[in-house]
């Protein structure tokens, strides 16, 4: 499932440093703008502690985690929507992603220049928002020109619905608000909204890059960002990229955990960031467990059993008969598939079953 999260931000906010921590693909990182020109793509393993716990019970030959793609996109600057910097190319890169990780500089360091001279993450956010909003407004106005006459005189109900939605988006964007602040209730409206592919309608996670002292608690810059995004349907995550780069250099799991405990963190920012990216893409995981492998499989939240069967193989979906489902906690509690069955905790589900995160699945099919 080739869904991508794009890392965006102004130059020198720590995007490429974070990407390098996330991925074995080493993006160039330097103290000057436009260091990253072509987008770097990394296939990132999604941390999932459940796999190891299942493996302790099943003793498989291998463990296979799921992955997500992260794209490091070059830094945007003010005027990108008019082609400043490498604007048009960068905006095209963002359009191709499915969700956005927006990195904001929330630390002071005189040795690392800021493209606008002083640290102000809310202003930085607004600069990028404005550039994306301008492109979205162009998209909306072009669509309005195409459907307005049909909506007003043609008696086409769908055209009228689209036109009214476009007007809502235009009003919001003209006020400097992101498209994701506009809410639509019906499934038809939500489908139309997705098909517009607006940049500011993509799911977003704001990543506040802080100094070491603020890694566990945040700081005044983070507080300002949290207040600024209060009306958006967006998340926020605090990460110290400099610390994460040091953690990435440690060779063993025990060394990394010791380092984290010394600075008062239970989990690395990189792990939290990957999980946040996965969630932002509206993804969940079902599991399979057997002597050959314990494996995590990615599916879109809300998918039904046949669709998830198709994630493993298209034949599984075509010939779907039923799904045998064990809840993860039940498997851990009883210790084996046979014990779960004896306890009556395995359910048999049909085509309408909506798969839940952590379900351990076995599909029956016939083709």
Q: What pLDDT, on a 0 to 100 scale, did the predictor assign at position 42?
A: 79
Q: What pLDDT, on a 0 to 100 scale, did the predictor assign at position 79?
A: 56
Rounded Cα distance between 54 and 60, Å, is 9
Q: How far is CA 316 from the centre of its chain?
A: 28
Which tens digit of pLDDT belongs to each residue from 203-236? 889 999 999 888 888 899 999 999 999 878 788 9
Asked if 288 and 299 count as a contact pair (C-beta separation under 8 A), the reply is no
Q: What pLDDT, on a 0 to 100 scale, did the predictor assign at position 29?
A: 38
Asked if 67 and 46 count as a contact pair (C-beta separation under 8 A), the reply is yes
Q: What pLDDT, on a 0 to 100 scale, did the predictor assign at position 232?
A: 81
Three-class SS state of 295: strand
Residues 6+ apart with CB under 8 A from 19: 7, 25, 27, 40, 42, 70, 72
Residues of the chain with pLDDT under 50: 24-37, 80-81, 84-87
Q: What pLDDT, on a 0 to 100 scale, did the predictor assign at position 277?
A: 84
Could you say which DSSP state residue 354 is in? B
Q: What pLDDT, on a 0 to 100 scale, did the predictor assign at position 30?
A: 37
Which tens digit of pLDDT belongs to each residue from 162-182? 888 899 999 999 998 889 888
Q: What pLDDT, on a 0 to 100 scale, did the predictor assign at position 39?
A: 58
Rounded Cα distance between 145 and 151, Å, is 11
Q: What pLDDT, on a 0 to 100 scale, did the predictor assign at position 28?
A: 40
Scored b (16 or more CB within 10 A) or e, 61-83 reads eeeeebbbbbbbbbbbbbebbee
Asked if 303 and 285 count as a contact pair (C-beta separation under 8 A), the reply is no
Q: What pLDDT, on a 0 to 100 scale, did the predictor assign at position 115?
A: 62
Q: What pLDDT, on a 0 to 100 scale, did the predictor assign at position 207?
A: 93
Q: What pLDDT, on a 0 to 100 scale, did the predictor assign at position 88?
A: 55
Nearest residue to 304 via CA among 295, 315, 317, 291: 317
DSSP string for residues in 331-358: HHHH-SHHHHHHTT--EEE-TTPBP-TT
Q: How much is the pTM? A: 0.78
Q: What pLDDT, on a 0 to 100 scale, did the predictor assign at position 20?
A: 81
Q: What pLDDT, on a 0 to 100 scale, did the predictor assign at position 86?
A: 45
Q: What pLDDT, on a 0 to 100 scale, did the predictor assign at position 72?
A: 83
Going through 158-231 in order, the beta strands assigned E by DSSP cover 204-209
């Amino acid at each position: 499932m080739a869904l991508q999260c794009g890392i965006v931000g102004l130059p020198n906010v720590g995007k490429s440093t974070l990407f390098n921590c996330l991925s074995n693909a080493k993006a160039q990182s330097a103290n000057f703008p436009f260091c990253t020109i072509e987008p770097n793509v990394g296939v990132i393993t999604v941390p999932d502690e459940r796999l190891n716990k299942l493996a302790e019970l099943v003793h498989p030959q291998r463990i296979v985690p799921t992955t997500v793609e992260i794209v490091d996109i070059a830094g945007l600057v003010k005027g990108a929507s008019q082609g400043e910097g490498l604007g048009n190319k960068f905006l095209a890169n963002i359009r191709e992603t499915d969700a956005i990780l927006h990195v904001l500089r929330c630390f002071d360091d005189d040795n690392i220049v800021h493209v606008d001279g002083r640290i102000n993450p809310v202003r930085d956010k607004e600069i990028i928002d404005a550039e994306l909003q301008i492109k979205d407004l162009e998209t909306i106005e072009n669509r309005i020109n195409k459907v307005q006459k049909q909506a007003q005189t043609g008696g086409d109900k769908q055209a009228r619905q689209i036109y009214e939605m476009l007007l809502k988006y235009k009003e919001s964007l003209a006020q400097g608000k992101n498209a994701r602040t506009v809410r639509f209730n019906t499934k038809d409206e939500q489908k139309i909204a997705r098909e517009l592919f607006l940049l500011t309608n993509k799911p977003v996670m704001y990543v506040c890059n802080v100094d070491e002292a603020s890694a566990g608690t945040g700081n005044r810059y983070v507080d300002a960002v949290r207040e600024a995004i209060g009306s958006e349907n967006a998340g926020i995550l605090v990460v110290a990229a400099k610390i994460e780069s040091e953690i990435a250099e440690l060779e063993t799991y025990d060394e990394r955990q010791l380092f984290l405990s010394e600075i008062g963190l239970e989990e690395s920012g990189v792990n939290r960031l990957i999980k946040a990216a996965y969630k932002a893409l509206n993804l969940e995981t079902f599991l399979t467990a057997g002597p050959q492998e314990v494996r995590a499989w990615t599916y879109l939240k809300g998918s039904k059993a046949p669709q998830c069967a198709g994630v493993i193989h298209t034949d599984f979906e075509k010939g779907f008969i039923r799904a045998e489902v064990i809840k993860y906690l039940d498997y851990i509690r009883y210790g084996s598939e046979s014990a779960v069955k004896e306890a009556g905790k395995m359910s048999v589900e049909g085509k309408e079953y909506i798969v839940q995160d952590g379900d351990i699945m076995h599909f029956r099919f016939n083709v």
